Amino acid sequence: MRVPAIPENEEERIDTLQALDVLDTKPEERFDRLTRLARRLFNVPIALVNLIDEHREWPKSAQGIERSESPRDISFCGHTILGDDVLLVPDTRLDERFRDNPRVKDAPRIRFYAGCPVRAPNGSKLGTLCIIDREPRQLGEEEKALLRDLTRMVEQEIAAIQLATMDELTMLSNRRGFEALSRHALELSRRLKKPAAFLYFELDGSKQMNDQFGHAEGDHKLRSFAELLRHTFRESDVVGRLGGYEFAVLMTNASDTELDNAVERLEKAVDQHNKKAAQGYGIEFSFGKVTIDAAGHANVADLMVEANALMYKQKTSEDI
């Protein structure tokens, strides 16, 4: 048996998967109808939409087999996401990668496998649509094309989910996407015993600006601040728009000094932006920050509440 290799873009792939917040969720008809269709069209006993995270293969949809996870090391789909097209295994017992695989030797006794990579809109391969038989068989070119077409339909559903986790105006994660990514990042920080920091921002004077200049300029202000956040913080940091004029950043593996330096960089970037602004107004913000030590066990909701309270405390003290 050959253990599947790790894709070169594994970090981006996992981040994209986590942002969707679909792992360990209930079955959904949007995916089940496609696996039912695949099972009928190919006349196979088993059809699945599998997602691959760091350590496991997890079925978002399963027809003809119990919906349960399995180790990534023995997954067929872990091999499929390494390629760009259909992975076809006509007879597993004749393939050195799989002939002594536990899923070949024992239940579900896979003899035939065909899987096509499922991509997110950014190109990351999140998993597969696959069909399985307990007897050897082949797929013709038309059948491969049909499997690709069904996979594109799965990708359309994935894209619809991703749109639900993105803020269309700023192209940052929305609250749902931010919370999903932050949960993953905090868990990783806990396992690695690394510190983290949470920042909560609110743009000041936004209602008055909308009243004076109109909502189009308000949207421009939101996009500008989002871009400043994106350029100020590291690619590994989680940045999101929570709603209205509220934003948040989760920094992992960040010391107090790194946190203070990041805030200082943002303040300088905002100052430079305001000097160049031609609209007659600039960006002003209040913020609250919470640090989490290496042994911290704070959850995202608690961090939001604490940082939000600190932000309003800062805002109130400035107004006095």
The whole-number pLDDT of residue 50 equals 98
pLDDT number for residue 71:
97
Eight-state DSSP code of residue 6 = P
Report yes or no on 168 lying in a domain.
no
Does the residue 242 lie in any domain? yes
- CA–CA separation, 314 vs 302, rounded Å? 19
Of 129, 163, 197, the position where a domain reaches its end is 163
Tokens found for residue 141 = 């070119």
**Distance, CA of 171 to CA of 92 (rounded, Å):** 44
pLDDT per residue, tens digit, the chain (320 aa), is 999 999 999 999 998 998 888 999 999 999 999 999 999 999 999 999 999 999 999 999 999 999 999 999 999 999 999 999 999 999 999 999 999 999 999 999 999 999 999 999 999 999 999 999 999 999 999 999 999 999 999 999 999 988 888 898 999 999 988 988 888 888 878 877 888 889 999 998 766 766 666 778 888 889 999 999 999 998 889 999 999 999 999 998 888 888 999 999 999 999 999 988 766 668 999 999 988 876 665 678 888 888 888 888 877 766 54
Q: What is the 3-state secondary structure (H, E, C) of 169-208?
A: CCCCECHHHHHHHHHHHHHHHHHHCCCEEEEEEEECCHHH
Cβ neighbours of residue 24 closer than 8 Å, sequence gap 6 or more:
58
At residue 297, the pLDDT reads: 57
The HSE-up count of residue 81 (CA atoms within 13 Å, CB side) is 31
Of 163, 190, 211, which closes a domain?
163
CA angle 82, 85, 87 (to 5 degrees): 75
Say whether both 63 and 204 belong to one domain: no
Separation of alpha carbons 97 and 110, rounded Å: 13
Distance CA 312, CA 101 (A): 57
Instruction: Say if residue 80 is in the same domain as residue 157.
Output: yes
Instruction: Kindly state whether residues 136 and 229 are assigned to the same domain.
Output: no
Q: Are residues 132 and 237 located together in one domain of the fold?
A: no
Q: What CATH number is attached to the domain comprising 139? A: 3.30.450.40
Q: Of 121, 139, 163, which marks where a domain is finished? A: 163
SS3 category, 51: strand
Number of domains in the chain: 2
Q: Which domain holds residue 119?
A: 10-163
In a domain, 55, yes or no: yes
Residue 187 to residue 297: CA distance in whole angstroms: 9
Cα angle at 121 between 164 and 216, to 5 degrees?
Answer: 55
Question: Dihedral of CA 57/62/64/66: which sign?
Answer: positive
CATH number for the domain that contains residue 220: 3.30.70.270
The reply to whether 29 and 158 lie within a common domain is yes
Q: Please state whether beta strands 56-63 and 70-71 pair in parallel, antiparallel, or not at all (unpaired).
A: antiparallel
**27-37: b (≥16 Cβ within 10 Å) or e:** eeebbbebbee
Render the burial of 283-313: b for 16+ CB within 10 Å, e for the rest: bbbbbbbbebeeebebebeebbebbbebbee
* Model pTM score: 0.74
Distance of CA 121 to the CA centre of its chain: 11
| Strand 56-63 with 246-252, pairing | unpaired
